[in-house]
A and B are shown apart, each in its own frame.
Chain A
């Protein structure tokens, strides 16, 4: 059996989409690095804050970097067309990017808060009906509506501040 990363329902081996929530299942090793390694990188890099700008200027095509105030190094997202941002909660809903290490709970980030989606060279931000809302450059974003994001924009999930950069 396999477990859906979003809603935790159980599916037979070989199933490709969750029958409960339609999420893509078993996308391979890329997904594991998303929830695991990325956060590790951010913690490990705590002593070398200068690397940050360097990474941002050298983002490859398809990469998205999220800079968080408390993290020394940006989180790099790569290998998918969509990422769900949120935090791990009691009901075992696991987003693609778990923001718990950055005080997501205290800052009012919902378990499934927002999605970043790559559409060719564009990046779109979609609030997934979060409790405390999403803001782009200070402006509230309507739930379930995709808005275009520009390089260097400021995204606020609840009170958690993220700056987004992305490669071509």
Chain B
């Protein structure tokens, strides 16, 4: 049974008294019992709690459990630090919004070994890649091959309307020169069918899939795929279940950013926009380095809401800012060694009365790849006291900073939605507002971009894909650049 720490499930420490265990069980039962809470996951949460209580309330079973934990050693390997937009909550007769910035920290900060990589680069070789683009991609792949370590597994797939394995999955880089030579022979022709590339890439990754490695598919594309989006997304969800993450790098202005975002979001991967060929190699190298030096991979979060609570949105702030699709479990990606992974949750609360309020249970699981430990679990309860008329208090700076930047990102998202719906004037107005905000927040270049796109929209009624992507990924990059940390030590 891999239920994780039984005390953690009941929100207790290992020194809890039998009375405390009983009280914690009754409280948890009130939250998640099927009679009280019909939210998805509540029944399972209750069953886990009941099982934990069954063991911990029996002195014989409890001491057997304690002894087993002592033998297998090690305390929690993940630590969670929350920051809330209101704490305490105001007791209100109307619904309210609560933001929770949840930071997941490595519990061990000493130098740990780097995890092995199981990496597949999936390269678009459609006709539009011909020339400088494909040359740059090949150069970038060459640099990745040079940076690989003996423990890494690596493969290359090239696709157009069909896919070929260029470098089959191989561990160790004895055939480095041969691999680079094979990559250099890739030529451009045909259309773009991303499904072919992903299918072929996943097959290569599956040959050496490991819960102790970062299993990652890196897609480099400059085009739109037609008709196979739904299949790609389904494949991405399956890949995530198998422990494979997909990241997408879009080159130029033609690729479908919404689709690549969703593809990456479903797996905990990241998506990025590369506007000039020059930055491509550096970008790919940094990405691969990040993957090969993570503390934990496959951080998933099962969100079990308390009765009448609603989860409105989830946004990853770092590493790699981006929206997280609300598909359970949430795929939060990887956790670096040196700084926390931080995720912003937005909840809608019903009218609350004074007293303790629990909002949701977040059940995290992760593979601690740097220690070779899989299936690490941690339960964290989003819970706050509510009081009538709490004194006005400034929200924590890290949370405010994240929200200020997220609000800019959302302004541009709304502008594109308006433009897509045919409201060019409304979109232009919103871009002007965004420009003013960006200017006020010390981002003159992005501000200029927003304002010039606004006047372009007013004149031509058509938006430029280039400006759209620059603003989207530009405002998103600001999120990850925000000073991290909920105040505590790092």
- Do A126 and B436 contact each other (CB < 8 Å), given the known contacts A12-B95, A144-B451? yes
User: Do B411 and A28 touch (CB < 8 A)?
Assistant: no
Q: Tell me the complex Cα distance, A27–B447, Å.
A: 24
Any A CB within 8 A of the CB of B382: no
Any A CB within 8 A of the CB of B309: no
- Do A29 and B392 contact each other (CB < 8 Å), given the known contacts A14-B86, A14-B97, A14-B98? yes
Binary per-residue interface labels of chain B (212-244) against chain A in the complex, 1 for a CB within 8 Å, 0 otherwise: 000000000000000000000000000000000
Per the CB 8 Å criterion, the residue count for chain A at the interface is 25
User: Do B403 and A16 touch (CB < 8 A)?
Assistant: yes
In the assembled complex, which residues on chain B have CB atoms less than 8 Å from the CB atom of A44?
none
User: Do A144 and B436 touch (CB < 8 A)?
Assistant: yes
User: Do B95 and A28 touch (CB < 8 A)?
Assistant: no
Per the CB 8 Å criterion, the residue count for chain B at the interface is 36
Binary per-residue interface labels of chain A (17-37) against chain B in the complex, 1 for a CB within 8 Å, 0 otherwise: 111011010001100000000
User: Do A22 and B408 touch (CB < 8 A)?
Assistant: yes
| A residues 18-62 touching B (CB-CB < 8 Å) | 18-19, 21-22, 24, 28-29
Interface of chain B: mostly helix, strand, loop or mixed = helix
Binary per-residue interface labels of chain B (124-145) against chain A in the complex, 1 for a CB within 8 Å, 0 otherwise: 0000000000000000000000
Q: Tell me the complex Cα distance, A161–B459, Å.
A: 34
Any B CB within 8 A of the CB of A82: yes
Closest A residue to B98 by beta carbon equals: A14
In the assembled complex, which residues on chain A have CB atoms less than 8 Å from the CB atom of B439?
126, 144-146
User: Do A82 and B440 touch (CB < 8 A)?
Assistant: yes
Q: Tell me the complex Cα distance, A115–B406, Å.
A: 22
User: Do A13 and B92 touch (CB < 8 A)?
Assistant: yes
- Minimal beta-carbon separation of A53 from chain B (angstroms): 31
In the assembled complex, which residues on chain B have CB atoms less than 8 Å from the CB atom of A1?
94
In the assembled complex, which residues on chain A have CB atoms less than 8 Å from the CB atom of B432?
129, 144
| B residues 266-296 touching A (CB-CB < 8 Å) | none
- Do A15 and B97 contact each other (CB < 8 Å), given the known contacts A119-B442, A144-B447? yes
Any A CB within 8 A of the CB of B186: no
In the assembled complex, which residues on chain A have CB atoms less than 8 Å from the CB atom of B406?
17
User: Do A22 and B411 touch (CB < 8 A)?
Assistant: yes
In the assembled complex, which residues on chain B have CB atoms less than 8 Å from the CB atom of A22?
407-408, 410-411, 433-434, 437
- Minimal beta-carbon separation of B324 from chain A (angstroms): 19
Closest B residue to A128 by beta carbon equals: B436
User: Do B85 and A115 touch (CB < 8 A)?
Assistant: no
Q: Which residue from B86, B98, B414, B435 sits with its C-beta under 8 Å from A144?
A: B435
Any B CB within 8 A of the CB of A117: yes
- Minimal beta-carbon separation of A41 from chain B (angstroms): 22
Q: Tell me the complex Cα distance, A128–B439, Å.
A: 10
User: Do B451 and A12 touch (CB < 8 A)?
Assistant: no
In the assembled complex, which residues on chain B have CB atoms less than 8 Å from the CB atom of A128?
436
| B residues 82-110 touching A (CB-CB < 8 Å) | 85-86, 90, 92, 94-99
User: Do A13 and B95 touch (CB < 8 A)?
Assistant: yes
Of A11, A13, A82, A115, chain B has the most CB atoms within 10 Å of the CB of A13
User: Do A126 and B440 touch (CB < 8 A)?
Assistant: yes
In the assembled complex, which residues on chain B have CB atoms less than 8 Å from the CB atom of A117?
440
Closest B residue to A29 by beta carbon equals: B392
Binary per-residue interface labels of chain A (138-149) against chain B in the complex, 1 for a CB within 8 Å, 0 otherwise: 000000111000
In the assembled complex, which residues on chain A have CB atoms less than 8 Å from the CB atom of B403?
16-17
Any A CB within 8 A of the CB of B374: no
Q: Tell me the complex Cα distance, A11–B96, Å.
A: 9
Q: Tell me the complex Cα distance, A16–B404, Å.
A: 9
- Minimal beta-carbon separation of B85 from chain A (angstroms): 6
User: Do A21 and B92 touch (CB < 8 A)?
Assistant: no
| B residues 339-361 touching A (CB-CB < 8 Å) | 348-349
User: Do A16 and B400 touch (CB < 8 A)?
Assistant: yes
Binary per-residue interface labels of chain B (419-437) against chain A in the complex, 1 for a CB within 8 Å, 0 otherwise: 0000000000000111111
In the assembled complex, which residues on chain B have CB atoms less than 8 Å from the CB atom of A13?
90, 92, 94-97
Q: Which residue from B85, B95, B408, B440 sits with its C-beta under 8 Å from A16?
A: B85
In the assembled complex, which residues on chain B have CB atoms less than 8 Å from the CB atom of A126?
436, 439-440
Closest A residue to B444 by beta carbon equals: A146
User: Do A19 and B410 touch (CB < 8 A)?
Assistant: yes
In the assembled complex, which residues on chain A have CB atoms less than 8 Å from the CB atom of B433?
21-22
Q: Tell me the complex Cα distance, A17–B435, Å.
A: 16
Any A CB within 8 A of the CB of B394: yes
- Minimal beta-carbon separation of B428 from chain A (angstroms): 11
- Minimal beta-carbon separation of A2 from chain B (angstroms): 10
Binary per-residue interface labels of chain B (172-183) against chain A in the complex, 1 for a CB within 8 Å, 0 otherwise: 000000000000
- Minimal beta-carbon separation of A149 from chain B (angstroms): 15
30 contacts between A and B (CB under 8 A): A1-B94, A12-B95, A13-B96, A14-B96, A14-B98, A14-B99, A16-B99, A16-B395, A16-B403, A17-B404, A17-B407, A19-B407, A19-B414, A21-B411, A22-B408, A22-B410, A22-B433, A24-B404, A29-B392, A115-B436, A117-B440, A126-B436, A126-B440, A128-B436, A129-B432, A144-B432, A144-B436, A144-B439, A144-B447, A146-B439
Going nearest first, the 7 A-B pairs with the smallest beta carbon separation are A17-B407, A13-B96, A14-B97, A14-B96, A28-B392, A22-B407, A12-B97
In the complex, besides A13-B92, A129-B436, A144-B435, 6 extra interface pairs with C-beta distance below 8 angstroms are A1-B94, A12-B95, A13-B96, A22-B411, A126-B440, A144-B451
